[in-house]
Structure 1
Amino acid sequence: MFLLGTIVNGLLIVIGVLLGKLLHRIPEGMKTTVMYGISLSVIVLGLQMGFKSENFLIVIISLVAGAVIGEYFNLDDKLNSVGHWLEKKMGTSSGEGSISQGFVTATLIFVIGAMAIIGALDSGIRGDHDVLYTKAIIDGFTALILTTTLGVGVIFSAIPVMLYQGAIATFATQIDRFIPTELMDSFIVEVTASGGVMIFAIGLNLAGVTKIKVANLLPGILVTAIIVSVIYGYQSFIN
């Protein structure tokens, strides 16, 4: 079952949120310190991912172009509006945390990254769910901590995570028929690097250092795919 890893990932996020709600009485000082710990970990993870690029110019161009597209369509506000809509539907009070903040922050952390892409590809191509199982454990623990500080909105991040990874896994069952392995490897490397910069920005936001609209950078992933494909096509042509 090629969607098993994705389903497990979504379930562990939900379980993490439920456990986080049970532990919501953790002292504020402890929550703050733990959140700083997560922020620093996310920052380091982003740096590690960013340094994996084989051509950082691709990352720069992708992020700049992605930012222009994201700002034009105002993606960050649209994503936040989904969270605010959920907040109104649930009638959540401000004391329970902002659903929009929890939803947006958790979605960006869980969706952006190499593990989501590589794990979903492994599930679809080889039926190997180990990467997504590992990601599921990490996401579940992160969801638990995020819920104690950002509230129950984190639980809704399981929906885009499952849709995103499920779509990739479904696509991957047929991917080897029309996308060369070399192109896919290059794509994963550069998407990992571009996503790493976004992860780094998320870490800074969580630490309260910046208020970067990371969602407006997301089109950079698509731009990366286009640039890598063009480069691959050009190199194939001249060779």
Structure 2
Amino acid sequence: MFTGIVQGLATVASLTDRPGLRSFELAFPPGFDSGLEIGASVACDGVCLTVTQLPGPGRACFDVMQQSLGLTTLGALATGSPLNVERAAKDGAEIGGHPLSGHVDCLGTLLSIRQPENNHVLRIGVPASHMRYVFAKGYIAVNGASLTVAEANRQERWFEVWLIPETLRMTTFGHKQVGDVLNIEIERSTQVVVDTVRDALDERLGPLLPALEKLLAQQGQSLDDLGAALRLPG
């Protein structure tokens, strides 16, 4: 498990392609690899990877399957690419963000960047299949960073996050440009509540469900908004 609090920036030192597999060697910031062992988990841009080799101080190697390369941004990394990294949380660790699994749910696209004074606002587009789980004031993980959703537009399928200077300093977000692809992990408790509400309504209403959806749409709402209203605290 991870907390979504990025602990530093790593750099791709080298990569090697083999049939169905790509191996990365990452260079970590000073002290990041203290006590790191083979078999340990590290979130790399939000993707949980397992340490396979420790070639030297400040370095670690990871193997990534072809499927994961296709479903995440890792397939686009090249030598010198920076990425957000976080060590797996230990028992009793403070959860400064929200619990993450390191399993990417979908890819988002950076649609726009605004820079009001002392802030950096990212508007990110996501597929409709996962936008149903994104709500204003809720949590979401972007490239492994736990962020709070400032605004969400379900019809246009985008959400916004506001980043303070410290977040930009500790992550790769300050280097991102419009059109860049990002790893998205939705918040699990929100997903559970939304899916449970949809399943319960489907079971109870059956053929009446389309009529309810139409009525809600006329009011600018959806079944997913009902799920948001019933979201569990925290």
Tell me whether the two structures share a fold, i.e. TM-score over 0.5.
no
TM-score (structure 1 length as normaliser): 0.21
TM-score (structure 2 length as normaliser): 0.21
- Structure with the larger helix share: 1
- Structure with the larger strand share: 2
> Larger C-alpha radius of gyration, 1 or 2?
2
Higher relative contact order (CA 8 A, sep 6+): 1
